Amino acid sequence: MSPAFGDLRFTNVIADARHYVMPFTPVTIAARALHIGRYGADSESPRLSPLFVGFPSLVRGYDIGSFDFSDCEINPAGGCSAAEQLIGSKLLVTGVELRAPLVGLFTGSLDYGPLPVELIGFFDAGVAWDETSRPSGFGTGTRPWARSAGAGVRINAFGYMILELNAVRPFDRVDNSWRFVFGIRPGF
């Protein structure tokens, strides 16, 4: 937890749990749960940028640039209600990935070869909410979860970052067709 003081009073809470299992060589199952939340008197201040669950490093297939008019019901404020369901002062994300190094699939060992390339299959789910809403599945919550699944390729760029190219199927969009998503992320 990290309290912030000054004109705004809130505490930013981050809880990040990860677990890895190798059921057989070279396949790894990676799971994570992440909560980020702002709590306190000014946690909903318009001076703070809202948290967004649709980043490719959180829930793939919901990035803000992928929404168009066919996805949206325009709300009274003129915004896209489908995209606005993905923002809030708190978020909860979970994900499971099945990973294997490309070369290792052929050798049966944990061998990455000269290029550190992994093949992945994944399932992501996440929800964002604020003081006036709750996630569905939590009592009387109405905020919908964003869920997606797909497969892709991960490349470790010198231990500095992970580059991903994924084919993603978002389940909770009007247009839930397959799409390609490129992402840059820290490793998990």
* More confidently predicted of 95 and 114: 95
Q: What is the pLDDT of residue 49?
A: 92
| Residue 112 identity | Y
Complete domains list, the chain, with CATH = 2-185 (2.40.160.50)
Per the listing, tokens 């199952």 go with: 29
Residue pLDDT, tens place only, 134-153:
998 888 888 999 999 999 99
The reported pTM is 0.87
Residue pLDDT, tens place only, 66-75:
877 777 777 7
